[in-house]
Amino acid sequence: MPRVSRSPAVPAARVPGAPAPRRRPGGASLRLLAEQAFTRAAGAPLVGGNAVRLLRDAGENFPAWLEAISGARESVLFEAYIFADDRVGREFAALLAEKARAGVRVRVLQDWLGGLGEASRGFWRRLQDAGVEVRTFNPPRVDSPLGWVGRDHRKSVVVDDRVGFVTGLCVAERWAGDPARGVEPWRDTGMEVRGPAVADLARAFAQVWDEAGAPLPEEELPAPDQIPAAGEVALRVVASEPATSGLYRLDHLVAAMARRSLWITDAYFVGTAAYVQALRAAAQDAVDVRLLVPGESDLGLVKRLSVAGYRPLLEAGVRIFEWNGAMLHAKTAVADGRWARVGSSNLNLSSWLANWELDVAIDDDGFARQLEAAYEEDLARATEIVLDARRRVQPVHPLPKRPRPPPLARRRRREGSAVAAAGALRIGNAVGAALGGYRVLGRAEARLLAIAAAVLLALAVVGAAWPRVVAMPFAVLAGWLGISLVARAWRLRRQGGAGTAVERSGEAVAEARRELAGEGEPKPPRAGPGAERGARG
């Protein structure tokens, strides 16, 4: 943006009796204000003194995890959305069992929905027999009819409180591929962290572990001053939970503050109208906004919903690219060659508002440059999507569709909550745009409108001809909710009014925000021994 300059020889006139003009904040003050904004938005403090390493795909992530676990002497905390009983899963299971037999405290946390159909009870029993403590997060409960929507989508490994890994990868063969059969690995990204921030990773694991059973002993959780500095990188561990929306606010803030570039990779992009507008505003302000998404997805419906949202982004100048290789599962962002994010969160309502997610926001130009270089390499295997002369969404060079691997059908069933949330959001946006007439709809959105219209017309016909058929599902739903509320009330009465996981996480975040609000001047990044612990995300 152009700056307005003033001649130093002609000072601005002052009105007698008027207050002196306020000084514009200098670079240091602006930096502190930006840090405070990021801290409050994410609910996570900036932690200094770390060393980080970017890890691409299973070929770099899995060996790094295995090496760290092999060297474990005290503890291994392993959190996975999917832990499959296949070639990759059995390799990790064998090593975890070996370390447990050697006296290492090994804890494995897997999500109930994510792991559905991936591993048998015998698989988990063998791990438990070896001394591994295994917990399954959030199985269905009678007293919580909608509780199953919130999933533990985090993927992390913490070893001996000295090294941690945050990633988008799950423990399954499809991430590794099968070169012998010509099966490409999935494209995904993770990172290694060493230094004081590992304490936040361990406590993030403990957050979800505690929801699935007895809490971890406090003495087993490290404090930042117990972990020596390992480098000079400052970062935030953003451990988001349902109803906290920390990453949602952070993503909006980054879109608003980016000045030069914002490059995003996302596996299941179905942005809210507010976030889409934030990206549009950045692009219209000459920010180089790019979005890399899968060309073929394991969740076909989410892919179609994502495509339906291309038009408003393209019209504003956002560049969209579709990956041409195997499934693109990475979740990253890099802005202005300075700020970067790597983790488990997708840009959709399921990740922003319903799931337990774990991301690392890095404030370091060296790491950001690495992520930018990786992004440019990915674009070499991607096709840009543009608006043609008739304003239709088209690829620059149409490519033949790749066959979809058969194992992905199981995953589509397990991701029902994400598909439902994304579908409702995109259809709602399309219907609102059609009724309000505030923007032109594309062919993909027209199909969504046709589906919504067909469903409504079918309901109208059925309701007119057979009103009981329409009323029966509502009666069943009301009965189910009533029974669930009775069970919940009885359970709370027995527990003395203990809140749910969502309520407790909301209270914790509210307390952290109150602490942050009372800090006055923002504090410098925490680092190494002697640093105080701030609020955690």
Q: If we measure between CA atoms, which residue out of 80, 126, 65, 81 comes closest to residue 100?
A: 126
User: CB neighbours (10 Å) of residue 532?
Assistant: 10
> Of 85, 99, 111, 155, which is the active-site residue?
155
> Of 266, 303, 329, 364, which is the active-site residue?
329
Pairing of strands 393-395, 332-335: unpaired
397 part of the active site: no
Quick one: tokens of 41?
Answer: 């938005």
C-alpha 68/C-alpha 78 separation (Å) is 12
Q: If we measure between CA atoms, which residue out of 205, 158, 252, 237 comes closest to residue 534?
A: 237
> Of 153, 200, 266, 303, which is the active-site residue?
153
> Of 331, 359, 363, 364, which is the active-site residue?
331
99 part of the active site: no
For residues 337 and 369, the answer to whether their CB atoms sit within 8 Å is yes
| Cα dihedral 323, 325, 330, 331 in deg (nearest 10) | 10
Long-range contacts of 502-507 (CB under 8 A, 24+ apart): 502/150, 502/241, 502/242, 502/243, 505/207, 505/241, 505/242, 505/243, 505/244, 506/243, 506/244
- DSSP annotation string for 5-71: P--TTSPPP--TTPPPPPPPP-HHHHHHHHHHHHHHHHT---EEEEEEEEEEHHHHHHHHHHHHHHT
Cβ-Cβ contacts under 8 Å for 337 (sequence gap 6 or more): 260, 261, 365, 368, 369, 372
> Of 85, 152, 160, 359, which is the active-site residue?
160
Quick one: tokens of 394?
Answer: 């088209």
E strands present in 198-259:
233-240
Q: If we measure between CA atoms, which residue out of 457, 280, 265, 423 comes closest to residue 349?
A: 423
Residue 300 phi/psi, 5° resolution?
Answer: -60, -40
3-state secondary structure of 474: helix
R_g of the chain computed on alpha carbons = 25
- DSSP annotation string for 295-335: SS-SSHHHHHHHHHTHHHHHHHT-EEEEE-SS-B---EEEE
Burial of 316 per CB tally in 10 Å (0-12, 13-18, 19+): middle
153 part of the active site: yes
331 part of the active site: yes
> Of 188, 251, 298, 336, which is the active-site residue?
336
For residues 294 and 322, the answer to whether their CB atoms sit within 8 Å is yes
Catalytic site positions: 153, 155, 160, 329, 331, 336
